[in-house]
Amino acid sequence: MQSERLIVKYIKVNNCFAYLPDAWLRKLETKENAIEIEHNGKTYYASCSASANHNEILCLGTTFARSLGINEGDEVFISSVKDVPHLTRVNVIPRTADDREILVDRIDILQLMLGDKLYVPRDVNWDYYGNKTEGWMVQDLVDLAEKTVFAAWKRHGATRPPVVITEEDVSIALKNCTPMSLQGIQLYKGQGHGWSDIGGLAEVKRSLIEILQWPLKYPEIFKNAPIKLQNGVLLYGMPGTGKTMLAKAIANECGVNLISVKGPELLSKYIGVSEESVRNVFERALRAKPCVLFFDEFDSLAPRRGHDSTGVTDRVVNQLLTQMDGVEDREGVAVVAASSRPDLLDPALLRPGRLDKSLYCPLPDQVDREAILVALCKTQNINTAELDLKEVSAMTSGFTGADLNAVVTQARLSAFEDVVANIPDGKIVAEDIKVSQKHLVDSVKSTHPSLSNVEKEKYKRIYARFAKHDNFTEDMLRNQKATLA
């Protein structure tokens, strides 16, 4: 169970506790997942990475000394153990049932590691960085501290000490750190997509802010409030109405991670592989929390059960229900699904506790189209001072947000072609490309809506019946067979 048992004395040095002699700690092997500390006949366990070195143990021990009230000269016993479950947070857990659980604050650990090397001011917003490092192991905090020190010395330059750490140093280091639990996971950081980048959809954005943004941004308030949170949302609407951009905006506005999955990516013809893929996605989300887990084209992943001859999608739906039912702890993970055919989804997924709220993303009206054009021009750095976007919005009846994006992109390309034709030497700067009203009008005339009137009417009927929870799809699906094609 243990690799070596050591007697270590604490002494107080510069208002911090430290191990003596340090050479003993270099012999301590923590090839397991925890270290054991005994003091005054009581035993405590602490989470630890399998490759922890003596510096990490020193950091943990220093914080333990504060939490446990160990005095100067007290003797403690340290050993590495393996029969303790892996902990994703830094905890000290007494063996005796009468003792309370002691939480070792990540902030204390980070401050101690930084304080050993540089001056750490009190005015740094440590609570913010404590929330940003949720789920980080000691090795992750060691990495963050080292990169913070490097950023401070780099900013400090060749001037004489003392070097003082600033919030900017910690922020720079935080951007360059990836915790071990997230290594190998592709995350969308949501840069460049905020609520202001999405025109229209005012009611949908307001609902998303209340349902998802507030709980993700202020978790402590909602944790202490007697409110049943809705942590699942279904966005439905015609193709191109901005459902995917809404999910990206949520992650960006909340400052959380976003894992985006397209439904067909998880399907496999081999038995058990699709279900395992679903489990892996939720495990990745838990490791990345706080996180938004976004399922695009959700109807292809979770159609009604009983209409698939292979049984693959039935098993996938069952696995999704298991994950969404709260069997797995999903605190800090918001699930957002998008579909243009919500009527094809299995109804069990839309019950309370799963995808609690269904939000309709309608086609933009003229006011919304103008707002979308303003947002698109801002994103593409187009000066709108001499443009009449109201005229353009009136000309684009029936256009989706994606269609309007195509209009603006084509107008910018036309402006670029005009500049190239008038500059023979090819030396072009961004300021030379100016989109005129004529470019936009010509682009509208050459662009056709992606949805025909027949398709729009079909979608409107589907959404009207779905909003009334009318089980009208049985006749449509009765003689159909679903395939993986």
pLDDT of residue 356: 84
Which residues contact residue 66 at a Cβ distance below 8 angstroms, ignoring those fewer than 6 apart?
A: 17, 108
Which residues contact residue 260 at a Cβ distance below 8 angstroms, ignoring those fewer than 6 apart?
A: 188, 244, 247, 248, 294, 296
Which residues contact residue 13 at a Cβ distance below 8 angstroms, ignoring those fewer than 6 apart?
A: none
Chosen CATH of 202-361 out of 3.40.50.620, 3.40.50.720, 3.40.50.300, 3.40.50.11540:
3.40.50.300
Buried b (16+ CB within 10 A) or exposed e, 103-125: ebebbbbbbbbbbbebebeeebe
pLDDT of residue 440: 92
Q: How far apart are CA 439 and CA 416, in angstroms?
A: 10
**What CATH number is given for 100-182 in this structure?**
1.10.8.60
**What CATH number is given for 366-451 in this structure?**
1.10.8.60
Q: How far apart are CA 319 and CA 302, in angstroms?
A: 10
pLDDT of residue 24: 34
pLDDT of residue 92: 37
Which residues contact residue 77 at a Cβ distance below 8 angstroms, ignoring those fewer than 6 apart?
A: 5, 6, 7, 8, 36, 37, 38, 39
Give yes or no on whether 100-182 and 366-451 have one common fold.
yes
Tell whether domain 4-80 is in CATH 2.40.40.20: yes
Question: ω into residue 239 within 30 of 0, thus cis?
Answer: no
β-bridge partners, 339: 236
- Tens-digit pLDDT profile for the chain (485 aa)? 333 333 333 333 333 333 333 333 333 333 344 556 566 666 655 555 555 555 555 555 555 555 556 555 555 555 544 443 333 333 333 333 333 333 346 777 777 777 766 777 777 887 778 777 776 776 777 788 888 888 888 887 766 667 788 888 888 888 888 777 666 566 665 555 788 888 888 899 999 888 888 887 777 777 777 666 677 899 999 999 989 888 888 888 877 788 888 888 888 777 888 888 888 888 888 877 778 889 998 988 888 887 776 777 888 888 888 888 764 466 778 899 999 999 999 888 888 878 888 999 999 999 999 999 998 988 888 888 888 999 999 999 999 999 999 999 999 998 888 877 777 665 766 666 788 899 999 999 999 999 999 999 999 999 999 888 644 444 444 444 444 43
Q: Which of 73, 21, 68, 23 is nearest to 45 (CA)?
A: 68
Domain positions in the chain are: 4-80, 100-182, 202-361, 366-451
List the structure tokens of 384. Answer: 């709108």
Question: ω into residue 162 within 30 of 0, thus cis?
Answer: yes
